[in-house]
Structure 1
């Protein structure tokens, strides 16, 4: 998965929204809807056609056709035909312009080519960067940094590449995530391992790097493994949960867990996540 995605949304000189194609500030003028001619109910007791372009109900007790292009119901008791048409729907709002620049970093070599193939057609550059290396960008280069499940959020680097007023928005893995399964295979883990990635600690680290944490929400979500195949699939995909996992190495424990699931029902664990919303002052 990508480590970070970073976007430049505004022009670095003016601070105004910028067209990603021309580099010129976009026109921020808002066009207000025009004021159509209002009108209340219109009544005619006898006579020819009645036309109303906007307004409330029209009533005619006798006479010729009635036409209303916009408004409420039209009623005619005797007389000719009644016609009511509807004004055309307003045009949809234009799509928001893409960021002036968006780049993504990737630290796992097999993912670099795959991420490039997916993101280059969308105008996103992918930069190979090792997990613990500094982000290869200038100070204050981006308005927004986003991430999903970083191994370790490098707060000092995130703060460095953000412009004053910029945002870091990310979902992090929380403490003890799916540890019921981890400890089933590895046994009880030290307190330092169990409490790693605690949101309170990460908040303190973000603030120490100079960021203001304006939102932090934690969740603990139920995970059910209904058969031993699901357990094997999970541990083969999420290889850091039980390092070095193979079916052969853990066959006795897998067989025990298989019998437990058959007898008692799903094996239940809990996934923890927290959502960060931080700003760089300025």
Structure 2
């Protein structure tokens, strides 16, 4: 997901090939409903200028046939993207969409992929750098887009990770806690008072592009994390603002910057505490 977003940005440290066609990130993890099918792509990128969208599902190394069947319902029904507010500033009758599967493995090797799907292979090789391939037999239908590939980065270019820095999944938990702690410290120092939403907005660069469902997930997890940070000793520096039910906090100690020196302690302790919890154990209202 970070790689897709980076390709739409004018970032001198990474290829901005999709930016040349004016693609931008519309929404991350939106629910899309088409003819009784429930779709959950990872990201939707659109070039308003060319009235073309990439509906992208980021895979590991396997593809479920029933998932492919659901996505195929979107072909010829691109108007649903406009009607449901996924794509804006493009007339429904003008919009075309590319069903896109991407992975760090070649998905065509061990999976049957029908024709409507474009396949994109991200790979990093010490000799060729970071490259992006639109695989033969599953090319994009939009000519200008197809002609951009393969995209070859410089060997020194690292994969950007700051655009989508964390998620709610267990494998991201330590990263999640680290970002939440840093934003809590920053906001407490700069603002004095802050809410859980302030924290996730500050710590997630693409917060505005996240679907409502994903925002609610991250917000709930952030509240749990801040609660556990207080339990770990941050209550000496911040406290819950009265009558906010644990949704807003204020700084009570000017020494909160000293918490930065104990980042590993807080992150380790809170990550361990959250690992023992089931998501949503805390009854926070969103």
TM-score of the two chains, using structure 2 as the length reference:
0.21
Higher helix share: 2
Q: TM-score, normalised by structure 1?
A: 0.22
Q: Which has the higher contact order (CA 8 A, sep 6+)?
A: 1
